[in-house]
Amino acid sequence: MSNRTDPAPLLDRRVIGREVWIVLALSLGASAVWSVVSIVGTLTEPGGLADAVQSLNSAKAEAERPWYDLARQLVSLALAMAPVALALHLLSLDGANPFRRIGLDLRRPGFDLLGGAALAACIGIPGLGLYFTARALDINASITAANLNDVWWAIPILVLAALKNAIIEEVIGVGYLVTRLRQLAWRPVTIVAAHSLLRGTYHLYQGFGGFIGNAVMGAVFALCFLKWKRTGPLVVAHTLLDIAAFVGYLLVAPHVDWL
């Protein structure tokens, strides 16, 4: 089995193009479409973005049935991995190891962990400032990052949700998409712009602050992947950012009035 990191494409360009559209339509592209629909709905409601609230990681059943809620949470997280499995399968069709091809393996654990932590710090702090600025300007919805029932498994589920988001967005949106666009001979600047626009768009439901912040994050992550050929640090960074947002909100929000 070949261990090449960027094998020459064995498929026709038109076939690769159709494949990319199908994968995106089953994953991040669909999220982008629904996000546009959501922001249009929010902007046309009384109060607009200033009064809008977007709730993430909500309970899937009433508080009286915590084990049923847990089961629904776990099933939802597991099924969300199907498009990731599809993308990895498609990347393996020419004989390459898909995990090694996109740098999602254990060859450089120290680099992945340290690089991911550094990325998270560089993006997380300015991102928090951007969120509060956008809220003050009424161009972003208020984000309820964790809206679960009072259950013992809330934090483990939020950690798994953070990991799920990181894997989907970095494997499909960066590892798979950038690899395929390189095979289509796209220029690096165009690849970075395309991924940045995609990431910003599927976060547009949060408002224009969410769009801008995630578009910048997308540009940085795409550049890092083009340089490092690894999604490992990106998955680590994204997971840390979402854990801080989800678990931090769960622990802090009940005690303050500014979230």
pLDDT in tens, the chain (259 residues): 444 445 444 568 899 999 999 999 999 999 999 999 999 999 999 999 999 999 999 999 888 899 999 999 999 999 999 999 999 999 999 899 999 999 999 999 999 999 999 999 999 999 999 999 999 999 999 999 998 988 999 999 999 999 999 999 999 999 999 999 999 999 999 999 999 999 999 999 999 999 999 999 999 999 999 999 999 999 999 999 999 999 999 998 877 776 6
Which pLDDT score is estimated for 12?
A: 85
Our separate counts of H helices and E strands in the chain read 12, 2
Let me know: does 57 contact 146? Beta carbons within 8 Å. yes
Rounded alpha-carbon distances, angstroms, from residue 24 to 13, 32, 164, 175: 17, 9, 17, 13
Let me know: does 142 contact 211? Beta carbons within 8 Å. no
Amino acid letter, residue 38:
S
Q: Residue 219, by phi and psi: left (phi above 0), alpha (psi -120 to 50) or beta?
A: alpha
Which pLDDT score is estimated for 7?
A: 47
DSSP 59: -
Spell out the domain ranges in the chain. Answer: 36-255
The candidate with the shortest Cα–Cα distance to 198, out of 18, 31, 12, is 31
Sign of CA dihedral 37, 43, 44, 50: positive
